[in-house]
Amino acid sequence: MRGWLYLLGAAIAGAVVTTPALLVFVLGGGSVDDALFVALGTLMLVSALLVVTMRDIIQCGLAMIVAFLALAGIYVVVGAPLVAAAQVIVYIGAISVLILFAIMLTQSKAGPARLVFQTQAAPAAVAAVILAVLITLGVSATDWGETAERARLATDTLALILFQDYVLPFEVVSVLLLAAVIGGVFIAKREEDPG
Amino acid sequence: MNMDTLIPLIAALPMGGFLFTAVVGRRLGKRAHIVPVLAVGLSWVIAMVVVYTALTGGFGEGGQTVKLWDWIPAGAFQVEAAFFVDNLTAALLIVVTTVGLLVHIYSIGYMSHDPGYWRFFAYLNLFMFSMLLLVLGDSWLTVFVAWELVGLCSYLLIGFWYRKNSAALASKKAFIVNRVGDVGFALGIMAIWVNTGTLNIRESIDVLTSHTLVAFPIPVGLIALLIFAGAMGKSAQFPLHVWLPDAMEGPTPVSALIHAATMVNAGVYLVARANPIFASAPEAMVVVAGIGIFTALLAASIALTQTDIKRVLAYSTLSQLGYMFAALGVGAWTAAIFHLMAQGFTKGLLFLASGSVIHAVHDEQDMRKMGGLAKKIPHTYRTMLIGSIGMAGIPPLAGFFSKDEILGETFKAGFYWVWAIGVIVAIMTAFYMFRLIGLTFWGESRVDKAVEPKIHESPRVMTLPLWLLAIPSLLLGLFLAWPGPPLGPLFGQHGPGLLAGWLEPVYAHGLEILGHHEAEFAIFGIDGVLILISIAVATAGVLAAWRLFGVEIGGLRRRGQPERVQALSARVPFLYRASLNKWWFDELNHLVFIVIGGRVAAFLWWFDANVVDGIVNGIGAVTRLSGGGLARIQTGHVQNYALGIAIGLIVMVASYALMVSS
Amino acid sequence: MGLANSLDAYLILAGVLFAIGTFGFLARRNAISMLMSIELMLNAVNLAIVAFGSFIPNLKADGSIIALMVMAVAAAEATVGLAIIIAIYRNRKTPLVDEYDAMRR
């Protein structure tokens, strides 16, 4: 029985996502890339909204994973496949898992809390909307000096630059990760009883 | 021993006496009077030497200054501690030291039963020091300090019997009313300094009267009025006269010394000393004369109905002080000082004699309970009679000469209204003085039956000063006013009398400014007429008093007629009651200052407690409340802070965008 | 429509994602939800950087590399943040942020 609901949900989601894409593709006369962009963008935004509004926190985590996936797709569309791969591996493979583990460790037996949002949710929403509007206005008003087409970077070129020009940040980041891991382990360790 | 040491000694000796008695007096008991009396006695001797030197021209025209040290050397504000003696000082010294010494001797007897014997003499010596400092002072500031000290001594001595409520209240009243006048005086001194830059009396007077073309920051007339305000307080002129009758709560020697002979004359001395200032301000002089003669009339009208023997004398003092100020106001400065000296001795005599009477009838002061005392206390009676004759203005006593000179000068100066009122006051003076004598010494005895057998004459130590004071009362007038030989050439004087000659250099400046000329004494001209009028007027008053209150002098006998007195008073009920109630001035003062002033003060207190404190507390409350309100931002929740950051970010970006786009 | 080729589109997308993340950070009660919102914000920034790298000629390789660095740092930050949340949970027995008010006035 439950399975049908999930399938139905997935179908609705798929419809939601593909409709605007198809619209763009067919009516707007755009290319496949544009349709893909619209589809993936819509998916990402919808799942992000679900992340911040759903009651059950595990479902929020799952929505977040979907958002990351969509973002990885967009990275591919933009022309940065390495970043897309890293996104999937790091965010979905590591951070999301980490978050789900943390959710598991901090679940209270009473279930999800009564109130999802804080008392300041309304002003927060207003602030968020204004922020979005400001960014949009700022972005569209600025001349970035961009090229007309997106450039696709070859992975081997990227690798060369990474390990030649940017080797120091690379190494420092690894040290940072080490420190973070050690720190995290130490902080989250259970207090041991003496003796 | 030269003048430079002698002059300061006059004041230093009583000071030493005060310090000695204040420290060890309590243990000396009945012998506490020795050092103070000796101190004053020595001071008197030295004073007489100094006076003689001054009056025979030993100090020259400008007088003698003895500088002690630089009191206040503060840049532009320089004041020296110095003494100054000229003929005016000498005249005052005579009165102050003589009456002072005699009062000290009298007090040995009068205060002999009092437990505060030593305290009395200590205060008396302190008073002598203050008064001498006042007349000897060289700068306005010294005079002011002495002025205040004299007020303090008056307070201490009026309230000598401090356990008596009325005495304590009276001394407070005296001090406070004096202070009101002193404010004026202090302002006057400050004004003098602003105008002239110096507080030395002679220098400042020279400066104030010389610049007639250049305008002073503060008009000279105002300075004169301010100085007169101080004199009004000290010499109890209207409206600051209310303290003097109440000051009779003090012991009788105090009344004699302070409130008849010396302190109340300080005001007269002050105005006389500042005579060129007054001469430069004719309007101020008119004010002085007006207030003076009004006080004289007012006080005389009250004295007509008073029943306390000391009160009659107190109002009489007020009245005569009014005369002196009237004289000062019309430019008759010599006459004023003459009256001062005559009054000093006469009033001192009368007060001491009244003290003797009170002593005789065992502290009864109400004249309605006296009568028929002439045979029982002969010395007191005779000296008091002499004093009363002098007060009434019968020649050839001192009172006649001085009063007549005042009236004559006012008439000749053209102040006819002052003269007319003065004549009326003279009638009243004669009348109430002989009313006093009649009620006290003549007729049947109305003394309390229990006291009557115990009436006795006062001891010699009290009657001796009485006789000693009677002598100048009799002869001073002749001595000072006799125009020609043989006394004139003895002192190197010619012209209108000894005192006038002595005081001429003191008043020369003032007279010059006024433009007065000393007219020749025309015994067969206007002066003679005025003298006759004075004598007639005095005699009329005396006869009226005899008619109503009886007389028993020599062979002249007449009974008093109390019924007649009652009938007469019944015919003018309002005037009688007004006179009896001192024209309700005390009630008026009470209403204005205590009742209305009290309400104003209560309102101000309310204002201060509620409005001013309210504002101050309100500021505190506002701060506290706003602080409390603002503290609510500190919720402790990170998300609230984060919202704040977000809002701040939005505001910044939006305003930047607005700025860029505009 | 050329959407895939317009830098503005990617940037606006990133901006909206950032706004959604901000809302979630300010409005959710659970601490882990706040952290998830932070991750959304970081991802939005990453998208913007990558978009710049793709469209601005000077930033050809830098965009991707910076995005990689941001990702690594985000991972480190998530690690430590979650560890802290777990430690606080052990102390306060609740994951709800508005119940952490020990610093309240």
B627 and C CB contact within 8 Å:
no
Q: What is the pLDDT of residue B202?
A: 83
Say if residues A54 and A67 touch (Cβ distance below 8 Å).
Answer: no
Question: Tokens representing B37?
Answer: 């009396």
Is C20 close to A49, i.e. CB distance below 8 A?
yes
Is B646 close to C26, i.e. CB distance below 8 A?
yes
Measuring CA to CA, which residue among B243, B358, B228, B355 is closest to residue B288?
Answer: B228
- Secondary structure in 3-state letters for B553-567: ECCEEECCCHHHHHH
Instruction: Using the predicted structure, report yes or no on whether residue B94 has a pLDDT greater than 70.
Output: yes
Per-residue pLDDT of chain C (105 residues; tens, 9 = 90+): 567 778 889 999 999 999 999 999 998 888 899 999 999 999 999 999 999 998 888 887 888 999 999 999 999 999 999 999 999 898 888 888 877 777 665
Q: Which range among B123-127, B211-215, B280-284, B314-318 shows the weakest confidence by mean pLDDT? A: B211-215
> What three-state secondary structure class fits B487?
helix
Nearest CA-CA distance, residue C83 and chain A, Å: 5
Task: Please name the member of B635, B639, B643 whose beta carbon is closest to the beta carbon of C104.
Answer: B635
- The answer to whether residue A31 is domain-embedded is yes
What confidence tier does B551 reach under pLDDT thresholds 50, 70, 90? confident
* In a shared domain, residues A27 and A89: yes
Question: Tokens representing B289?
Answer: 């004369």
Chain C residues with CB-CB distance to B639 below 8 A: 25-27, 34, 97-98
Mean pLDDT of all residues in A66-72: 95
Q: Which range among B135-139, B205-209, B629-633 shows the weakest confidence by mean pLDDT? A: B205-209
Neighbouring CB atoms inside 10 A of B512's CB total 12
Chain A residues with CB-CB distance to C64 below 8 A: 80, 82-83, 153, 158
Sign of the Cα torsion B336, B339, B344, B348 reads: negative
Interface test with B, best of C25, C26, C38, C100 (most B CBs within 10 A): C26
What confidence tier does B487 reach under pLDDT thresholds 50, 70, 90? low
Q: What is the pLDDT of residue B1?
A: 61
Backbone region of residue B414 per phi and psi (left: phi > 0; alpha: psi in -120 to 50; beta: other values)? left
Phi, psi of B375 (to 5 degrees): -75, -25
* In a shared domain, residues A75 and A169: no
Q: Which residue of C has its CA nearest to B633?
A: C105
Greater confidence, A90 or A2? A90
Is C20 close to A128, i.e. CB distance below 8 A?
yes
> What three-state secondary structure class fits C1?
coil
- C: neighbours with 3+ CB pairs under 8 Å? A, B
A30 and C CB contact within 8 Å:
yes
Nearest CA-CA distance, residue C51 and chain A, Å: 7
Chain A residues with CB-CB distance to B632 below 8 A: none
Q: What is the pLDDT of residue A113?
A: 62
Phi, psi of B116 (to 5 degrees): -95, 35
Residue type, A70: A
Q: What is the pLDDT of residue A109?
A: 65
**Distance (Å, rounded) from C-alpha A122 to C-alpha B391?**
104
- The answer to whether residue A117 is domain-embedded is no
Residues ≥6 apart with Cβ < 8 Å to A103: A57, A58, A61, C32
Number of domains chain A is built from: 2
Q: What is the rounded average pLDDT for all residues in chain B?
A: 84
Backbone region of residue B305 per phi and psi (left: phi > 0; alpha: psi in -120 to 50; beta: other values)? alpha
Asked whether the bond before C57 is cis by omega within 30 degrees of 0, the reply is no
Is B639 close to A120, i.e. CB distance below 8 A?
yes
Q: What is the pLDDT of residue B41?
A: 93
**Distance (Å, rounded) from C-alpha B475 to C-alpha B466?**
15
**Distance (Å, rounded) from C-alpha B13 to C-alpha B45?**
11
Nearest CA-CA distance, residue A12 and chain C, Å: 22
- The answer to whether residue A120 is domain-embedded is no
Is B646 close to C22, i.e. CB distance below 8 A?
yes
**Distance (Å, rounded) from C-alpha B549 to C-alpha B304?**
12
What confidence tier does B265 reach under pLDDT thresholds 50, 70, 90? confident
- A: neighbours with 3+ CB pairs under 8 Å? B, C
Q: What is the pLDDT of residue B79?
A: 84
Q: What is the rounded average pLDDT for all residues in chain A?
A: 86
User: How wide is the angle at C-alpha C97 spanned by C-alphas C95 and C98, nearest 5°?
Assistant: 125
* In a shared domain, residues A86 and A181: no
Q: Which residue has tokens 């005392």?
A: B373
Greater confidence, A195 or C95? C95
What letter would DSSP give residue B216? P
What's the half-sphere exposure (Cβ side, CA atoms, 13 Å) at A137? Answer: 14
Q: What is the pLDDT of residue B456?
A: 78
The interface predicted TM-score (ipTM) is 0.91
Q: Where are the domains of chain C?
A: 3-99
Percent of chain B with pLDDT over 90: 21
Task: Please name the member of A75, A101, A187 whose beta carbon is closest to the beta carbon of C87.
Answer: A187
Is B643 close to C26, i.e. CB distance below 8 A?
yes
What letter would DSSP give residue B459? P
Instruction: Using the predicted structure, report yes or no on whether residue B510 has a pLDDT greater than 80.
Output: no
Say if residues B224 and B277 touch (Cβ distance below 8 Å).
Answer: yes
Q: What is the pLDDT of residue C23?
A: 94
Instruction: Using the predicted structure, report yes or no on whether residue B636 has a pLDDT greater than 80.
Output: no
Residue B200, strand partner residues: B139
Nearest CA-CA distance, residue C36 and chain A, Å: 8
Nearest CA-CA distance, residue B643 and chain A, Å: 7
Is C33 close to A139, i.e. CB distance below 8 A?
no
> What three-state secondary structure class fits B402?
helix
Question: Tokens representing B103?
Answer: 């009062």
Q: What is the pLDDT of residue C104?
A: 67
Percent of chain A with pLDDT over 70: 92
Say if residues B347 and B251 touch (Cβ distance below 8 Å).
Answer: no
Is B637 close to C100, i.e. CB distance below 8 A?
yes
Q: Which range among B119-128, B165-174, B209-218, B614-623 shows the weakest confidence by mean pLDDT? A: B209-218
H or E element at residue B65: strand B64-74
- B: neighbours with 3+ CB pairs under 8 Å? A, C
Nearest CA-CA distance, residue C104 and chain A, Å: 16
Measuring CA to CA, which residue among B92, B177, B192 is closest to residue B133?
Answer: B92
* In a shared domain, residues A95 and A160: no
Measuring CA to CA, which residue among B386, B408, B380, B413 is closest to residue B399?
Answer: B386
Residue type, C24: G
Q: What is the pLDDT of residue B441?
A: 84
Chain A residues with CB-CB distance to B657 below 8 A: 134, 137-138
B646 and C CB contact within 8 Å:
yes
**Distance (Å, rounded) from C-alpha B220 to C-alpha B536?**
41
**Greatest Cα pair distance in chain B:** 126
Q: What is the pLDDT of residue B125?
A: 92
Instruction: Using the predicted structure, report yes or no on whether residue B330 has a pLDDT greater than 60.
Output: yes
Most confident of B113-117, B361-365, C40-44: C40-44
> What three-state secondary structure class fits B81?
strand
Q: Which residue has tokens 């053209």?
A: B414
> What three-state secondary structure class fits B385?
helix
Greater confidence, B215 or B132? B132
Mean pLDDT of all residues in B200-213: 78
Interface test with B, best of A52, A115, A134, A135 (most B CBs within 10 A): A134
Mean pLDDT of all residues in A29-47: 85
Residue B81, strand partner residues: B69
- Secondary structure in 3-state letters for B149-215: HHHHHHHHHHCCCCCCHHHHHHHHHHHHHHHHHHHHHHHHHHHHHHHHCCCEHHHHHHHHHHCCCCC
Chosen CATH of C3-99 out of 1.10.287.3510, 3.40.50.12780, 3.40.50.720, 1.20.1250.20: 1.10.287.3510
Interface test with C, best of A150, A189, A191 (most C CBs within 10 A): A150
Mean pLDDT of all residues in B204-216: 75
H or E element at residue B83: strand B77-85
Is C53 close to A153, i.e. CB distance below 8 A?
yes
Q: What helix, strand, coil percent values describe chain A, rounded to 5? A: 75, 0, 25
* In a shared domain, residues A90 and A171: no
Q: Which residue has tokens 């993936």?
A: A40
Task: Please name the member of B643, B649, B653 whose beta carbon is closest to the beta carbon of A123.
Answer: B643
Chain C residues with CB-CB distance to A131 below 8 A: 15, 18-19, 22
Sign of the Cα torsion A161, A163, A164, A170 reads: positive
Q: What is the pLDDT of residue A23?
A: 75
Asked whether the bond before B459 is cis by omega within 30 degrees of 0, the reply is no
Is C29 close to A118, i.e. CB distance below 8 A?
yes
Mean pLDDT of all residues in B46-70: 81
Phi, psi of B167 (to 5 degrees): -70, -40
Question: Tokens representing A53?
Answer: 């509004």
- The model's pLDDT over B178-202, given as tens digits with 9 standing for 90+, comes to 999 999 999 999 998 888 888 888 8
Phi, psi of B332 (to 5 degrees): -90, 70
Q: Cα B123 from chain centroid? A: 18
Instruction: Using the predicted structure, report yes or no on whether residue B166 has a pLDDT greater than 60.
Output: yes
Sign of the Cα torsion B487, B492, B495, B496 reads: negative
Phi, psi of A188 (to 5 degrees): -85, 0
b/e B550-582 (16+ beta carbons within 10 angstroms → b): bbbeeeeebebeeeeeeeebeeeeeeeeebeeb
Is B657 close to A137, i.e. CB distance below 8 A?
yes
Say if residues B47 and B10 touch (Cβ distance below 8 Å).
Answer: yes
**Distance (Å, rounded) from C-alpha B581 to C-alpha B570?**
15
Residues ≥6 apart with Cβ < 8 Å to B348: B99, B102, B103, B256, B257, B260, B261, B469
pTM exceeds 0.90: no
Phi, psi of B240 (to 5 degrees): -100, 30
- Find the domain containing A62 and state its range: 1-107
* In a shared domain, residues A34 and A99: yes
Interface test with A, best of C65, C89, C101 (most A CBs within 10 A): C65
Residue type, A105: L
What confidence tier does A74 reach under pLDDT thresholds 50, 70, 90? very high
A120 and B CB contact within 8 Å:
yes
Residue B558, strand partner residues: B551
Question: Tokens representing B286?
Answer: 């008119």
- The model's pLDDT over B417-474, given as tens digits with 9 standing for 90+, comes to 888 899 999 999 999 998 888 888 887 777 777 777 777 788 888 888 888 888 888 8
Interface test with A, best of C10, C12, C23, C84 (most A CBs within 10 A): C23
Residue type, A32: V
Class of residue C105 by CB neighbours under 10 A (exposed 0-12, middle 13-18, buried 19+)? exposed
Chain B residues with CB-CB distance to A127 below 8 A: 643, 646-647, 650
Measuring CA to CA, which residue among B243, B264, B95 is closest to residue B175?
Answer: B243
| CATH assignment of the domain containing A94 | 1.20.120.1200
A151 and C CB contact within 8 Å:
yes
Mean pLDDT of all residues in B476-505: 62
Instruction: Using the predicted structure, report yes or no on whether residue B491 has a pLDDT greater than 60.
Output: no
Mean pLDDT of all residues in A117-143: 88
